[in-house]
Every structure is written in C-alpha cells, then in structure tokens.
Amino acid sequence: MPMDSEPLKHLLLLPVQMWGHARALTVLAGRMVKIRPVIVTLCISDKLWDRAIAEMKADYAPEEESLLSRIHLVRIQQGSDHLDPAGIRDHFLEIWKMLCAGETVPYEAVDGSTGVVDLQAFPLSAVILDGMGAEITEVLHKQRTESPWPLNLRLYIWAPVATDWLVGLFRTDPLPFIRAIQEEQNLSSIDACVAVMVTKTGRVIESPGLPAMYDYEWEPQGCRIDISSMLWADGMLSIDPVEYHPEAAKAFKDFLAEKGHKSYHVGPLITARPPCPAGNDAKGSEGCMRFMDEQLTARGARSVVYVSFGSLFWPQDPAKLTAALEVLVEQNVPFIMSRPSPVAKLSDDVVQKLVGNPNVYLGDWLPQQALLDHPAMGWCITHGGHNTVLECIHSGVPMIVWPITVDQASNAVHLTYNLDMAYELLEVRTGVGAGPLHRTGKAPLGTLDAVRDELRDVLCKAFGDDGAEKRRRMLGLQATLETAWTETGSARRAAEEFLDEVMALPPSTLFPTQNA
C-alpha cells in the first residue's frame, strides 16, 4: 500500500456511453488507486453513474474502502440517443475547456465525499480515452501539438476489445492509407476508415493466431468503425488478458513497439463479487434471480441458457432471432434473455408468447455477473463481445456465439477453432458476412430452417458429452485467467508498469501561466 506521505499523481479516464466499454474501465480505475498513490478522475455518462459506483464498490474489501475517496466521478451528459457519441463528446470537451482555462469542475467521490477537479492543484499525468472517442482524442492531440505554449500531455487509448481483432485490423499498417485518403478526398476520419477498412473485396486475411479468413468473414453483419484514435495515442491499455490469446498479444505488442508505443494488457477486469444493483436495476435483479432459483430446483444445475447481445448490439435479422428463440422453446430449454440495447426489438406477438412461458424470463437489464455465477446457468448465447466472453470464462460458462461485428467474429473463431470451448452459429450470418467461409469452403444457407437446424444440433451437443468436454477445457482457461490479478499476475504487473512509467513523467502543463 502506498505511504500517505507520497505525492498523489492524477489520471483522467473517459469511456464512451456504452456500458460494455465503461464497466471494465471503472474496475481498472478502482484498482489503480489500490496499487499506486494516484487520484483518478473518471468522467462517466449520467446514465451509467449508479452502475459505475456499484461496480467499483463491489471490487473493494472493507479494509480498502478509505481509498474510494481518491476516485472522483465527473458527470457527463449523454443526451437522449444511446448510440450517438455526440452528447458525451460535446459535454466532455466543454468541461475539458473549463479545466484547461484554470476553472474547477465539481466531482463526487465513490465514498460519497465531494470536491472539485482542479488541474492547477493536481496536474494530470495522463489521460486515458476510449478508442471509440476518436474525435475527442484528436482534439486533445491537436491541443498538445498545436498549442502556442509548450504542452506536456500523455494520451492513451482504452481498448475494450479482443487483441486478435486488432491484429487482424492492423495486419498491414492501415494508418498511412487512412491519413492519405482523408487528405486527398477531404473525408472525416470515420469515413476514411470505412473507405480503407470496411470495404470488402473477398481478399484472404492471414492473421497471427487465427485461421485464414476472407475479409468479409470478420464482419458477420456489417459495421462502421473508426480506428483513427490510434493515429494520436502514446500507447494502449487493453481489457484483454495476455493469456487469452498469447500469440495475438505478442503480435500487437510488436506492432506498437515498431511505432514507439506500448500496450498494457490489464484484463480480465471483473469485480471481486457481483455488484449490488440500485434503483430500477434492483427490481429486475430480484425477479431474474428468483427465476434462476426456481429453475435450479425444477431442473438442476447448468440447465438454463442465458441469451445476451450486450448493451449496444442486436441481431440484424429479427426473423432469425425469433426462429432461434422458438427452437429454445420447442426443445424445452429454459432461458433468460436481456434486452438492454436501445436497438433491441422483438415483435409484440413474440414477446407475448415468451412472457406467458414459465420457462422464459425477459428483462431489459439483468445482473450478468450474478447470473453467470448462479449454479443453474448452463450456456450463454452471446454476440461474443469481449466483456461477456471474459465474464463467461470467469464464471466457467461455455458459449454459443452469434457474432455481429467488431471483435465478435475473431472471438467466435478463437473460442471454437483454437480453444474448442464454444460453438459458433454460422447460419445467422447476414449482409456482407454471409459469403462462403474460407474455413469451411461453404456459404451459410441463411434460411430460417437452416438457423433452426443448426441451433437444434448445437443444443444437442451442448447438453451432451461434447458440451461437457468444452466446459472442461473452459475451466482450464478460467483457472489460468484467475491468476492475472494476483500479486505477481500478468495484468497487475502490466498495470503497475503503466502507472510507474506515467508517474515518472513530468506533470502536464495545460495553462499559459504555468509556462510564462
């Protein structure tokens, strides 16, 4: 534990508005103040405020709670559109401008105490920005490179995605091409990224640690991405444990090292105990845990399937999702389904049928960690987002992966092809991702009957001997990842290395008066 007499360094963290991005970063914020003498200012969406506080408190033992006063939360107005980052961007930049002008901004610490953020009294040692907040990263980078006075400010990217996806994305350095096309065609950074990275030609991608795949196999249902924040960052902090995919971790570390940057693999970031939900979340928590207890009594351990596509994503073809849910009902498999995403849609007819079924529980928000830890939980049908993947491994719950975009396809392939501890659904692919697969030489049929047949086959295997073997292999990886945050574990060492290097830097100079 750091001595009270040691000077406190100051870090500022900003996740975007998606809980999948913010959750793990809140845990990291809490752990930073445990292992080094730092103050962390966490700028968090107003809609995630209560969950962030609950998440950090769940990771603290009673004897550590005095340190919660060092985690300062600044409320950022998200706006009404959950998918649009403009609200977070505009309000944060407004607050940032105030801080840089020498003004103070109110905060509330996790222990309930209050105060003000004052960058003159506590200069910043580093800023950690979500990789999806490219526009914010660009503004801060320009401030440090185009300021009329000397400016020292270290910028790091928070990457809540699987490293093997990043390796595939950067298999050849795309940043010079993105920069060139942006300048030549006067495009925004995201449009330039789309032009270079998203346009699919059917070329074969060879990526360390993964089988060869056509470029469109990486986008099962299509997306727009903006990786331009990597243009301006000094390094990257990753939610990914090194042990999850060592070959990919080494490849990406080497890629960044060539550019003089470092990556710090600080995952998994899962609280010591499930957070206690508050407000409306608490009501949903009580009902779903009752459902799990009832299923345990009626059907026994590992009998329930959890269906979750995360806080942002949702299958693009509602008919395929309906067909899959019908198979679960037909096979008499009890399931619990969360619908936190603003784009989550089920027809009224489907909802009515499901709500009337005693083997089904629907909720807008569910306490995922508590559910996965419940002895009745058997399998998780998931999009394969990295938060959910790591939480499933942490709880020893094997997965049936329905990938949609970003790192979900690479997670599906790694979990099924490399590790053999999950099943990947192929017939649910649509859009740009529905072409022939390099791995199989076949294209998904894509019909509703094909979706039904595939899921029936997967469920038969999952609840049989093949599924038991996959669970056994997952428990081996679970045991490995449990060591990451021990005193000598890889994630703790990476976090310590990052903090020691940042703390050795001179504090930021953001004010003209400091340089006069």
- The per-residue pLDDT for range 477-501, each reduced to its tens digit, is 999 999 999 999 999 999 999 999 9
CA 306 to chain centre: 19
pLDDT at 18 over 90: no
Using the structure block, give the residue that is written with the tokens 């009957």.
449
Mean residue pLDDT across the chain: 88
Are the folds of 9-164+229-271+485-509 and 280-481 the same? yes
CB 351, CB 337: distance < 8 Å: no
Contact 433, 344 (CB under 8 A): no
Average of per-residue pLDDT across 206-233: 73
151-175: average pLDDT? 81
pLDDT at 194 over 80: no
User: In the predicted model, what is the mean pLDDT of residues 231-256?
Assistant: 92
CA proximity to 73, closest of 34, 46, 108:
108
Q: What is the pLDDT of residue 229?
A: 66
pLDDT at residue 1 is higher than 50: no
Q: What average pLDDT does the segment 391-419 reach? A: 94
Greater pLDDT, 436 or 178: 436
Mean pLDDT for the stretch of residues 187-199: 66
Please say whether the beta carbons of 226 and 132 come within 8 A. Answer: yes
Report how far residue 494's alpha carbon sits from residue 471's, in angstroms, rounded to the nearest whole number: 29
φ, ψ of residue 322 to 5 degrees: the values are -60, -45
Q: What CATH fold (topology level) applies to the domain 280-481? A: Rossmann fold (3.40.50)
Share above pLDDT 90 across residues of the chain, in percent, rounded to a whole number = 58
Work out the pLDDT band at 80, boundaries 50, 70, 90. Answer: confident
Q: Which residues, in sequence order, are CB contacts of 297 under 8 Å at separation 6+?
A: none
Query: How far lies 34's CA from each of 57, 369, 394, in Å?
Result: 13, 22, 22
Which whole number is the average pLDDT over 174-182?
69
Task: Rank 134-148, 152-166, 272-286, 343-357 by mean pLDDT and report only the highest.
Answer: 152-166
Tracing tokens 């994503």 back to the chain, one arrives at 313
Q: What distance separates the 2 farthest-apart alpha carbons in the chain?
A: 74
DSSP 141-198: HHHHHH-SS-----EEEEE-S-HHHHHHHTSS--HHHHHHHHHHHT--HHHHHIIIII
Tracing tokens 């603003």 back to the chain, one arrives at 342
Range picked from 9-18, 186-195, 217-226, 488-497 for highest mean pLDDT = 488-497
Amino acid at 169: L
Collapsing DSSP to helix, strand or coil, 360 comes out as: strand
Weakest mean pLDDT among 82-96, 180-194, 459-473:
180-194
CA-based nearest residue to 174, from 241, 122, 227: 227
In total, the chain counts a number of residues equal to: 516
**Above 80 in pLDDT, residue 439?**
yes
Q: Is the pLDDT of residue 298 over 60?
A: yes
Q: What are phi and psi of 321, to 5 degrees?
A: -65, -45
Q: Show Cβ contacts of residue 448 under 8 Å, excluding neighbours closer than 6 positions.
A: 319, 320, 323
**Residues in contact with 97: Cβ distance below 8 Å, sequence separation at least 6, in sequence order:** none
- Both tokens assigned to 238: 């990753």
Enter the tokens of residue 249. 């971790």
DSSP letters spanning 86-100: HHHHHHHHHHHHHHH
Type of residue found at 243: E
What local confidence, expressed as pLDDT, does residue 514 receive?
47
Task: Note the CATH number of domain 9-164+229-271+485-509.
Answer: 3.40.50.2000
pLDDT one-digit tens code per residue, 19-69: 888 999 999 999 999 999 999 999 999 999 999 999 999 999 999 999 999
Q: Is the pLDDT at 460 greater than 50, yes or no? A: yes
Among the listed residues 241, 138, 231, the one whose alpha carbon sits nearest the alpha carbon of residue 177: 231
Number of Cβ within a 10 Å radius of residue 418: 15
Is residue 309 within 8 A of residue 402, CB to CB? The reply is yes
Task: Give 334's contacts (C-beta < 8 A, 6+ positions apart).
Answer: 295, 299, 303, 304, 305, 359, 360
Of residues 492, 416, 502, the one with CA closest to residue 241: 492
């999948």: which residue's tokens? 20
Structure tokens at 372: 């996965």
pLDDT at residue 25, as a whole number: 96
Which two tokens mark 340? 């936190």
- Angle, alpha carbons 291-462-405 (nearest 5°): 85
Question: Is it the case that residue 149 has pLDDT exceeding 70?
Answer: no
Peptide bond connecting 268 to the previous residue in cis, omega within 30 degrees of 0:
yes
What does the pLDDT read at residue 92? 96
- Cα angle, residue 78 at apex, residues 73 and 84 outer, rounded to 5°: 135
Domain spans in the chain, listed from the N-terminal domain onward: 9-164+229-271+485-509, 280-481
Q: Residue 512: is its pLDDT beyond 60?
A: no
**For residues 267-291, average pLDDT:** 83
Residue 283 confidence (pLDDT): 67
Predicted pLDDT of residue 189: 66
pLDDT at 167: 85
Lowest mean pLDDT among 234-238, 264-268, 273-277, 484-488: 273-277
Contacts of residue 100, defined as CB under 8 A and 6 or more positions apart, other chains included, come to 119, 143, 510, 511
Which residues, 6 or more positions from 216, have their beta carbon under 8 angstroms from its beta carbon?
200, 202, 432, 433, 435
Query: Where is average pLDDT lowest: 7-11, 96-100, 267-271, 298-302?
Result: 7-11
Q: Is 261 exposed, middle or buried (0-12, 13-18, 19+ CB in 10 A)?
A: middle
End-to-end, the C-alpha distance of the chain in Å comes to 37
What 3-state class would DSSP assign to 362? strand
Return the higher-pLDDT residue of 188 and 240. 240
Q: Is 44 left (phi over 0), alpha (psi -120 to 50) or beta?
A: beta
Residue with tokens 């444990």: 241
Name the pLDDT band for 320 (thresholds 50, 70, 90): very high
What angle do helix axes 19-35 and 490-503 make, rounded to 10 degrees?
A: 70
As a whole number, mean pLDDT of residues 235-246 equals: 96
- C-alpha span between 103 and 107 (Å, rounded): 13
Q: How confident is the model at residue 3 (pLDDT cuts 50, 70, 90)?
A: very low
pLDDT band at 515 (very low <50, low <70, confident <90, very high): very low
